[in-house]
Amino acid sequence: MTTTYWCARAWLPDGVADAVRIEVADGRITEVAPDSPRTGTVLTGLTLPGFANGHSHAFHRALRGRTHHERGTFWTWRDRMYSLAARLDPDAYYRLARGVYAEMVLTGYTSVGEFHYLHHAPGGKPYAEPNAMGEALRRAAADAGIRLTLLDTCYLAGGIGVEPDEVQQRFSDGSAENWARRVAGMGEDELFRVGGAIHSVRAVPADQLSDVDNGTPSARPLHIHLSEQRAENEQCLSAYGRTPTTILYDHGVLGERLTAVHATHLTQHDIERLGAARGRACFCPTTERDLGDGIGPARALLDAGVRLCVGSDSNAVVDAFEETRALELNERLASEERGRFAADELLAAATDHGAVGWPEVGTLAVGAGADLVTVGLGSVRTAGIEPSGAIFAASGADVRHVVVAGREIVRDGEHRLIERPETVLAKEIEALWQF
């Protein structure tokens, strides 16, 4: 069965075109024809490829509005996050994530890489189904209609040479070998894939880094939190005499499938090594500013050959447009210059589904996965703009229509699969904090 969409304007690989007819069959785009007569489902406004959320911790959404006013550091914020993690079980995680993923789709995301380390029951005891928490996320994403890559995360230590504490025991499989064995028990389906992640060089001993790399399926991505905090670099230099990036290089982990999340505090040598490896860096601007992480060297990384992507991380803000433009706006603050990225460079970062294992998605072209996001051009935010300026003017509230793998998930700004996601989120978050 073929579905026809007629887009008043669409952002194609060569730029914005008018009156574009897009034919979709079996979840793929089969034809793209600009200057076509109106036919099929009419999408007014500007239609773009679906946005990719390169880095998410779904359960952090329950911290929104509850930690922002507090003084302190990333590490004091982490204590609050750990207290939340201790409250979750598979059922609660499913209900919370279902609302979070629905929120993502409503703001323009059509895929998400979930950096998942909340594996076991309190005390580290495995559930009867060892991947019960991951399966909860799979069900949540399926219900919300979003592509999910479970970046199953190896997390073995509470710091370099430090045993996991009571909460961190829930994250640990004891060894990278045990982690790989558990992950191998998960299957994939049309909208669900499984990749791997190293939590950080603090949480995985150096002599097990390559085991995580080898335990991640070769066709799937591998992610790591890298140099997010200065303290991480200091601890690594103290323990190993090398930067976190150098540790990865020494153990053969740097490569094209690796995504360095945050990559905030890098040396010039780190940047050169990441560029030579042709890996990726995932910036999460709204979380990085919320936690006071700093501003990473995004332009320098891109110039060195590193591919960029973006993510919502803690989900303190879920808005694909806000995350994307912040990549440029943060660069302006750091460099005191405007125009650090061209609009097509920003769109490429925002739609890099390959970073989370969906390389066939992210462009409005024949053969690509049929993920479409239509943003209205008639709101108080977007009225009168040039279409290519939508990244800077629009917000998630302007998303009117979302198609994922050829399936309509959002119509006229309403989620078609989950009624009133805001009610779902409010109910579950209140229940968690009353636990």
Average pLDDT value for residue range 97-109? 98
The angle subtended at Cα 126 by Cα 121 and Cα 132, nearest 5°, is 80
| Residues known to be catalytic | 262, 313
pLDDT at 199: 98
Mean pLDDT of the chain: 95
Residue with tokens 């009353």: 434
pLDDT at 159: 94
Residue 361 CA: distances (Å) to CA of 195, 284, 300, 308, 357:
17, 21, 26, 16, 9
pLDDT at 83: 84
Cα–Cα distance, 238 to 115 (Å, whole number): 27
pLDDT at 113 over 70: yes
Cα–Cα distance, 296 to 303 (Å, whole number): 14
pLDDT at 66 over 80: no
Q: Which helix H or strand E contains 277, and what residues bound it?
A: helix 268-277
Q: Which helix H or strand E contains 12, and what residues bound it?
A: strand 2-12
**pLDDT tens digits along 70-84:** 667 776 777 888 888
pLDDT at 38 over 90: yes
pLDDT at 70: 67
Tell me the percentage of the chain whose pLDDT exceeds 70: 98
Query: 362, exposed or middle or buried, with CB in 10 Å at 0-12, 13-18, 19+?
Result: buried
Cα–Cα distance, 186 to 348 (Å, whole number): 30
pLDDT at 427 over 80: yes
Query: What is the SS3 assignment for 292?
Result: coil
The residue type of 180 is A
Angle, in degrees to the nearest 10, between helices 320-335 and 343-350? 130
Cα–Cα distance, 277 to 290 (Å, whole number): 30
**Confidence at 67, pLDDT banded by 50, 70, 90:** confident
- End-to-end Cα separation, the chain, in angstroms: 48
**pLDDT tens digits along 190-249:** 999 999 999 999 999 999 999 999 999 989 999 999 999 999 999 999 999 999 999 999
313 secondary structure, DSSP code: B
- Global confidence as pTM: 0.96
**pLDDT tens digits along 228-240:** 999 999 999 999 9
Average pLDDT value for residue range 95-102? 97
Average pLDDT value for residue range 149-176? 95
pLDDT at 392 over 90: yes
Residue 323 tokens read as 């995350």
**Confidence at 68, pLDDT banded by 50, 70, 90:** low
Cα–Cα distance, 220 to 123 (Å, whole number): 30
Average pLDDT value for residue range 295-309? 98
pLDDT at 80: 83
Q: Select the more confidently predicted residue: 25 or 82.
A: 25
Residue 368 tokens read as 């690509």
Residue 326 tokens read as 């912040």
Residue 317 tokens read as 């803000």
pLDDT at 435 over 80: no
* Whether 300 contacts 280, CB under 8 Å: no
pLDDT at 304 over 70: yes
Cα–Cα distance, 282 to 274 (Å, whole number): 12
Cα–Cα distance, 320 to 395 (Å, whole number): 8
pLDDT at 69 over 80: no
**pLDDT tens digits along 310-349:** 999 999 999 999 999 999 999 999 999 999 999 999 999 9
Query: What is the SS3 assignment for 15?
Result: strand
pLDDT at 350 over 80: yes
Query: In 3D, which of 166, 103, 187, 91 has the Cα closest to residue 136?
Result: 91
* Whether 292 contacts 314, CB under 8 Å: no
Query: In 3D, which of 433, 403, 431 has the Cα closest to residue 417?
Result: 403
Average pLDDT value for residue range 24-33? 98
pLDDT at 71: 67
